[in-house]
Structure 1
Amino acid sequence: MKNYFLLEVGVEELPSRFVESTLAQIKENLEKSLAENRVDFEGIETYATPRRLTFVINKISDNQADLEEEVKGPSKKIAVDADGNFTKPALGFMKSKGLSESDVYFKQAGKEEYLFGTLKEEGKATSEVLKEVVPEAIKGVTFPKAMRWGGKNMKFARPIRWMVALLNDETLPVDLEGIIASNVTKGHRFLGAKEIEVNSIEEYFEALKNNYVVLDQNVRKEIIKTQSEEVAKSLGGVVEIEDDLLEEITYLVEYPTAFYGEFDTDYVKLPKEVVTTPMKDHQRYFPVSKDGKLLPYFIAVRNGGDNRLDLVKAGNEKVLEARLADALFFYKEDIKKPLESFVENLKTVVFQAKLGTVYDKTIRIEKLVEDIVDSLDEKEILNDAMRAAKLCKADLVTNMVFEFTELQGVMGREYAKVCGENDAVAEAIFEHYLPRFAGDILPETKAGIALSIADKLDSIAGFFAIGIKPSGSQDPYALRRQALGILSILLDKKLDINLEKLVNDALDNYDNLEFNKAEVVAQIMDFFTERVKNLFKDLGIRYDVIDAVLSSNLNSISDIHTRAVELNNWLQKEELVEMLTAFNRVSTLAEKAESDKVDEALLKEDPEVKLNAGFKEIKAQVEGFLANKEYNKALDAFASIKPLVDNLFDNVMIMDKDEAVKANRLGLLKQIYDTMLTICDLSKIVYK
């Protein structure tokens, strides 16, 4: 393989969560720098293990492309004096561009002549360009946490220990703050050679393979998955593999070997999450189950071969045994008393200094749940929803959740069942945290839906009331995620609920705070509007359609989405441009109206008389269709007024000299415009 560049960045083991981002950033930095430096290439392949980041640039050119660029200077009247000599501005331009007087010329540009020159630069060898761009591409990576080492100025997630750089089988001595690239790589930390000399890309891949390094992360991931499935099958079960955990393990090992361990069958009697949470989140093990029930086995992945696997198995079993013994102890202690008994302890847990304790938050959630249930007209769920609201945070002060915070909500549900709460209450306690992250499941029970919305809206209202709101990339209290969670629930469950009213209700519960309520409500509604725009864009809705349907309010997210989808479809009509042009004229003039009152006695011209009469009929039709949420039909009905509007504009002077006549005509147009807004604002639609 010729005309390639191979770069390996050798590091101390990277945190698995940083690997994908680091690969992507360096690749992007290389692509951008090579393009800016006029170096052609076909593509960049990326590979990664915990100890190395590898980049292969394919079909890279031998040299930069030559540069030939025409540059423009001052106009001729500024560049030349009365005697025909170059002025200081002209000479300054030539000096800044490295041009002599013989290199410049005048050329017409628009109405004047300007001084021009052509810059020419012969392309450098690609090897020289790479020496410059590679260090910058690596140093340009950003991390949530980074470190310095060895007196270096650069920062990286972990110290960089070596680099390999081969350009067409030749070593390229790239200098990264004293780390000089060579043709020497390293094998697996324990199983491979300490130093391996490679003189070509083929040798590089072969050497790593022979030294217990599976370089390709996709191959490594598939090996882990396949081996784990085979091990689970041999145990009579199936392995439960979550994508996030699989990816994490992929970047923890260079040479994976899956094996199983066992634990006491008594632990299987515990709630499943009590066992699988320490197994997955703390030990990076895959659970094994059969017909949905947990088996007393786990599958782990070793960074190495199968040598003395019995000792590795025993060691992992011992570690998990300690974790599960703790979990069993905490569980037995917690269920000695009812879940409700933990509620009082929430008074000792601070939610936020200005917003009180978690107990205070629970009281607010109870009040807001009642308002939400009333808005949804679901009075039959009120008792369950209120009971769940009272208990929803109680598990935060249990032994189990104190040790395993990932189990909040899960243990609340389990403990509620143990102490005799009904299924609706128990499930709502779990569901009130949903959705916990992008793509997570949504609450399904009515009580869980009400509780989830109340919990999230209480947080948003409280933080906005004390002036804490997301800014740029900063969102320490995950308010964006919580807002998106509320919107996702409202949209998915097609809930017809007035969001602004709920925001007001939530703020009313903060009667101990001083704030401008109207101002905070406006800020929160603007915040939700931005989230709606992002959500709808992700759903494939045009940005101008989103603006059009958001012109009125956010009273019902589900209804707004329905309008957006139907408007999206309606805009496929062939006569769209003419239609929108007419309604844009209506909206432009309607803004000049001081009132929407129409005195029929002042309607003297035939076009305005016909428009007024036709509009009354059409308005009644539109209102009927809107009442039945038939927005496509409402748009068709409203659009049918176009010929009457065109007739008015073609034959009547709207801005009449008679102020009363002018105001009357503007009032009629305002009535039409206001009716349009009850569907959407067509003036927001962009057309060509």
Structure 2
Amino acid sequence: MATDALFEIGLEELPARFIDDAEKQLHDKTAAWLETLRISFTNLTTYSTPRRLAVLIEGLAEQQMSMEEEVKGPAEKIAKDETGNWTKAAVGFTKGQGKTTDDIYTKPFNGTTYIFVKKHIEGKNTIDLLPGFKDIITSINFGKNMRWGTQTMRYARPIRWLVGLFGSAVVPFEIANVASSNTTFGHRFLGTQITINEPKNYEEQLHQQFVIVDAKKREAAILQGIRELEQEQSVHIPIDKELLNEVRNLVEFPQAFLGSYKREFLSIPEEVLIISMKEHQRYFPVRAQAGGELLPYFVGIRNGDDTSLDTVIKGNEKVLHARLSDAAFFYDEDRKRSMKEFLTKLKRVVFQEDLGTIHEKVERVIILTRLISQHIELPTADTNRAVRAAEISKFDLTTSMVNEFTELQGVMGEKYAAFYGEDAIVAQAIREHYLPKSANGALPETAVGTVVSIADKLDTIIGCISVGLVPTGSHDPYGLRRQAIGILRMVHANKWDISVEKLIELALQVYATSKVQLENQDQAATIIEDFFLHRAAYILKETGIEQDIIHAVLHQAIGNFTYSLAKAEILSSKRNDETFKLSQEAFVRVLNLAQKADSTVIDPALLKTVSEKALYEKYYSVNQAYHQSSRDAKEDLQLLEQLTEPIHQFFDQNMVMVDEDNIRKNRLALLHQIGQLIYSYADVTKIEWKQSF
């Protein structure tokens, strides 16, 4: 027989950002727990709202599955004495398993014979095992925990009630002085305390109490409410997925409503209005259906029904009016000041105590921007724009607007720079140098913005790691991992011919001549290169490249990241390519033998056979062409493949390890030189070739 079970954790309001992950943990941990207990079930559904996490387990077996277990005892030589009788060790082992020596059998394990017994483990009643669910509840991890009252337990928010049901029976357990029961609570203001009579009725009973426990259904209700407002008002309400996800986790019973603000606020930059609505009030901006211009309306999501909705709307409008009035005041006041005044203030703003002020950081970024521009051969006009953008990249940090709305850094820099008459591309670069804002976020659109962004991020990464601020685990307060990934993505997107190691070298050079003195730069360089290597490997893995291919391509350094990525993609495609088998075998054989070379100097006069002369001549021509190529991964591999036939003929017609010392060394030197050429492309010995022949 099978029975349904239900567990619910009732909490003070959880932060929206914790809920989705907590629900996933609840699902995965519950499934794993039941599997470990050998209790079968037909379906597992999780629910979440700001005030609860719950799991419904349908078709749960009423008894744990029995099992036959094989238990390994001591080695036979310990279990038997010299006369072949069972020793105390054997007797003790069997007694501990509820067996006798008559139940012993032997079999080899890792080259040694051991004694074994088999025992039957009878399955227990499920109801007796379910109280252990409390361990699932306490094992859920949150981004930040707290203690409450006199409790020593740490959790995201205080636990207020617990539900544990197996059919209609209460599953007894207790956490933080809260005992489980069959009682839960509806909406904080619209609902009441209720008794869950059957687990399968949980969702419907709570819906009657103005709680939609299914997060996807709450999201659908929000979208439906927004679409109805669109039709009623003939407007367009863009759906910000991130905002939708957050709002979904802020309410238990969503009700969409339309509010408005004064049209005169539309004179403020659009980004300010949207940030004020989205980030501070969780409102959806409203646009015109035709043209898409921003309209003086907003859509909010109330946690409740439509009772007294007009009053709710007026309250929300009042709050937004106050915030937009502040924004309008800051916008006007900032434009009364000069850019020079804002730049001067940067001398008093500390970037990091060991790395100086923001002003000093900007000075380093200016120099690094010029150096990078030169190395990638950026046109002179764009180089000058990039340097100017670097000079004023941080001025908006001291403006009143950014001080109040920190999310607008860069955005206001662009707006104010245009107001002060700066070149449009320079102004745009100020905003773009903060991009990408996430690992997979949008990249700068201009080369000018890209160079400044790379320079700024490099300065932060090199500086922070050099003073010991290396990210550990989930601790990365300066977002160094994200910034390193951003640098790699920008270099790749622009196909710039500059190695990652060169970028690091340039940044370290700038620090060496700055007011900030970094100790042990050589050691720091190694740590930084390794840090970038891990980020490069992460990107390759995210694009679907296998781990062994990643190791083969990044075995020495990242180099030109675009080239490295292209090599990885090509080698990945060659893994099961029958036509590449001969080349793969030739390259691997060369690399394996090349390690034995004592000398790397080839003496052409010692090349005696036709095949080794042919290999040398082919290597010479391929090597020249390879080092003159434009670093096209496909073409370079095709060049190397020209060595395939001469290599096979060489091995077929020559013995490398001959007795003549000079001949042997010369042949090994030839293989070493060829190996270095192959090695510069990739260490193909690290690849698990899977051609099926």
CA contact (8 A) 2:4 2:200 kept: no
Structure 2 equivalent of residue 631 of structure 1:
633
Does the Cα contact within 8 Å between 1:388 and 1:429 map onto a contact in 2? Answer: yes
1:75–1:115 CA contact under 8 A, matched in 2: yes
Counterpart in the other structure of 2:687: 685
Which of 267, 275, 279 is equivalent to 1:277? Answer: 275
In structure 2, what is the Cα distance between the partners aligned to 1:422 and 1:550? 40
Contact 1:227/1:258 (<8 A) preserved? yes
1:427 corresponds to which residue? 428
Q: 1:615 to 1:422 in 2, by over 3 A?
A: closer
CA 1:245–1:110: 2 relative to 1, 3 Å: closer
Corresponding position: 1:203 with 2:182: no
Which has the higher mean CA deviation after the structures are superposed, 673-682 or 567-576? 567-576
Counterpart position of 1:306: 306
Which residue of the other structure, out of 516, 520, 525, is the alignment partner of 1:516?
520
Residue number in structure 1 paired with 2:90? 90
Change (3 A) 1:628 1:496: closer
Q: Distance in 2 between matches of 1:59 and 1:687?
A: 46
Once the 2 structures are TM-superposed, how far is the Cα of residue 476 of structure 1 from its aligned partner?
A: 1.9
- Partner residue of 2:213? 215
Inter-partner Cα distance in structure 2 for 1:112 and 1:435: 58
Aligned to 1:327: 327
* Residues 318-348 of structure 1 deviation map (CA, whole Å, 9 limit, x = unaligned): 1111111111111111000232320010011
C-alpha contact 2:386 2:426 (8 A) present in aligned 1 = yes
Does 2:604 match 1:600?
A: yes
Give the AA of the match of 2:606: L
C-alpha distance in 1, partners of 2:112/2:366? Answer: 75
Q: Which residue is 1:143 aligned to?
A: 142
Output one character per residue of 1:425-450: Cα deviation in whole Å (capped at 9) or x when no partner.
11000000000113321101121011
**SS of structure 2 residue aligned to 1:59:** strand
Distance in 2 (CA, whole Å) between partners of 1:38 and 1:325 is 62
Give the Cα–Cα distance (whole angstroms) in 2 for the partners of residues 75 and 308 of structure 1: 79
Maintained 8 Å contact 1:412/1:429: yes
Compare 611-620 and 59-68 and name the one that shifted more: 611-620
Percent identical pairs in the alignment equals: 41
**Contact 1:170/1:199 (<8 A) preserved:** no
TM-score relative to the length of structure 2? 0.94
CA deviations on 1:296-320 (whole Å, 9 max, x unpaired) are: 1111111111111111111111111
Aligned to 2:157: 158
C-alpha distance in structure 2 between counterparts of 1:110 and 1:148, whole Å:
50
The one-letter code sitting in structure 2 at the alignment partner of 1:315 is G
Alpha-carbon distance, 1:41 to partner: 2.2
Residue 256 of structure 2 is matched in structure 1 by: 258
Q: Give CA deviations for 1:589-633 in whole Å, capped at 9, x if unaligned.
A: 112223322112222244323322343344455456xx1444334
Corresponding position of 1:10:
10
Are 1:482 and 2:483 matched, yes or no? yes
Q: Residues of 1 paired with 2:126 and 2:260: CA distance? A: 56
SS at match of 1:589: helix
What's the offset of the Cα at 1:350? 0.4
Distance 1:149 1:557 in 2: 50
Determine if the alignment matches structure 1 residue 105 to structure 2 residue 109: no
Instruction: Answer whether contact 2:186 2:206 (CA < 8 A) is retained.
Output: yes
Q: Is the 8 A contact 1:465 1:507 kept in 2?
A: no
Provide the C-alpha distance between the structure 1 equivalents of 2:517 and 2:214, rounded to a whole number of angstroms.
56
SS of the counterpart of 1:65?
coil
Farther-moved stretch of structure 1 (294-303 vs 141-150): 141-150
Q: CA deviation at 1:535?
A: 0.3
For residue 23 of structure 2, what is the aligned residue in structure 1? 23
1:71 to 2:71 alignment: yes
Q: Which amino acid aligns with 2:544?
A: G
Distance 1:558 1:633 in 2: 14
> What is the RMSD computed on CA atoms of the aligned residues?
2.1
Q: How far is 1:181 from its partner? A: 2.2
Query: How many Å apart are 1:98 and its aligned residue?
Result: 4.2
Q: Which residue in the other structure is 1:187 paired with? A: 186
Q: Give the whole-Å Cα distance in 2 for the aligned partners of 1:298 and 1:567.
A: 52
Change (3 A) 1:211 1:112: closer
99-108 vs 303-312, greater mean Cα deviation:
99-108
Indicate the residue corresponding to 1:228 in structure 2. 226
Match of 1:317 in 2: 317
Amino acid across the alignment from 2:637: L
How many angstroms does 1:95 deviate by? 4.7
The residue that corresponds to 1:465 in the other structure is 466
Gaps of 5+ in 1: none
Between 425-434 and 611-620, the greater mean CA deviation after superposition: 611-620
1:402 corresponds in structure 2 to 403
Please report how far the alpha carbon of residue 550 of structure 1 lies from its aligned counterpart in structure 2 after TM superposition. Answer: 2.2
CA distance in 1, matches of 2:110, 2:555: 43
8 Å contact 1:342–1:397 — kept in the other structure? yes
Contact 1:350–1:358 (8 Å) recurs in 2: yes
* Structure 1 residues 129 and 664, CA gap change in structure 2 (3 angstroms): same
The amino acid that maps onto 2:603 is: D
Per the alignment, in what secondary structure is the counterpart of residue 301 of structure 1? strand
Letter of the 2:340 counterpart: E
The 3 A distance-change label for structure 1 pair 23 and 384 is: same
Distance 1:641 1:447 in 2: 42
- Counterpart for residue 580 of structure 1: 584
Between stretches 338-347 and 650-659, larger displacement belongs to: 650-659
Among 516, 522, 530, the residue aligned to 2:534:
530
- CA 1:367–1:214 in structure 2 vs 1: closer, same or farther (change >3 Å)? same
In the alignment, is the contact (CA less than 8 A) between 1:184 and 1:198 conserved in 2?
A: yes
Q: How many positions carry a matched residue from both structures?
A: 684
Q: Report the residue type matching 2:684 in the other structure.
A: L
Using the alignment, how far apart are the partners of 2:451 and 2:618 within structure 1?
Answer: 45
1:414 Cα deviation after fit: 0.8
Q: Are the aligned partners of 1:3 and 1:61 in contact in 2 as well (CA < 8 Å)?
A: yes
Contact 2:574-2:580 within 8 A present in 1 as well? no
Q: Give SS of 1:646's match.
A: helix
Closer, same or farther: CA 89–639 of 1 in aligned 2, 3 Å: farther
What one-letter code is carried by the residue in structure 1 that aligns with 2:163? Answer: V
Residue deviations 1:49-85, cap 9 Å, x none? 1111121123222211112111122232221113444
* Partner amino acid, structure 1, of 2:387: M
User: Which residue does 1:616 correspond to in 2?
Assistant: 620
Letter in 2 for 1:190: F
Pair 1:107–1:446, CA change in 2 (3 A): closer
Q: Structure 2: which amino acid aligns with 1:675? A: L
Deviation at 1:370, TM superposition (A): 0.6
Does the 8 Å CA contact 1:340/1:391 hold for their aligned counterparts?
Answer: no
How many angstroms apart in 1 are the aligned matches of 2:233 and 2:582? Answer: 70
CA contact (8 A) 2:536 2:558 kept: no
Q: CA deviation at 1:642?
A: 2.8
Cα shift at 1:526: 1.7
Q: Secondary structure at the match of 2:60?
A: coil
Question: In 2, Cα distance between the equivalents of 1:451 and 1:108?
Answer: 66
Equivalent residue number for residue 678 of structure 2? 676
Letter in 1 for 2:137: I
Q: Distance in 2 between matches of 1:445 and 1:110?
A: 62
- In structure 1, C-alpha distance between the alignment counterparts of 2:490 and 2:261, rounded to whole Å: 39
CA contact (8 A) 2:563 2:632 kept: no
Q: Where does the alignment leave 5 or more consecutive residues of structure 2 unmatched? A: none
CA shift at 1:3, angstroms?
A: 2.8
Where do 1:329-344 residues align within 5 Å? 329-344=329-344
Q: C-alpha deviations, 1:461-506, integer Å up to 9, x for none? A: 1112223212233222111111011111111222222332221221
